[in-house]
Amino acid sequence: SVPQWLRVCATEGVPAAYRIETVPVECYDGSRMDVYTLRAVLPLPVSLPPSQRYLSLLQEGAKEAALNDDWQRKLAGIEPFWLGRRVAAKKTPEVGIPEYEQRAGTTFV
């Protein structure tokens, strides 16, 4: 909903820390639509995991949108960010997500 999106933007630091981007997505039924996402204003040398609150929103949204089981398991396996946590600089390979669903600039819902 619009109020939920506005709350996410406010609590995640838009526009100081993140900016809103429009991303074209291809749905499982082949239809296409534009959706909104947040991108960090300043790039970091490592990818930080989401906060517990934000991760919960992603997990709930994945269930509501009926994303496939592989994506829901991927989200369930993410450990949320917490202060003091060390973050690995290397990127780990994606497991269980088909290659075609990992293309840069494309998100499947």
Instruction: Give me the percent of the chain exceeding a pLDDT of 70.
Output: 76
The dihedral built from the CA positions of residue 89, 68, 57 and 38, taken in this order, carries a sign that is: positive
For the stretch 54-95, pLDDT in tens is 899 899 999 998 999 999 999 999 999 887 766 655 454 555
Cα separation, 92 vs 83, in Å, equals: 21
| 39 in Cβ contact with 15 (< 8 Å) | no
What is the per-residue pLDDT across 12-36, written as a single tens digit (0 to 9) for each?
899 999 999 999 999 999 999 999 9
Does residue 107 register a pLDDT over 60?
A: no
Indicate the pTM of the whole model.
0.66
- Judge whether residue 53 has pLDDT over 90: no
Say whether pLDDT at 109 is over 50: no
Q: Which residue ranges make up each domain of the chain? A: 1-41, 44-90
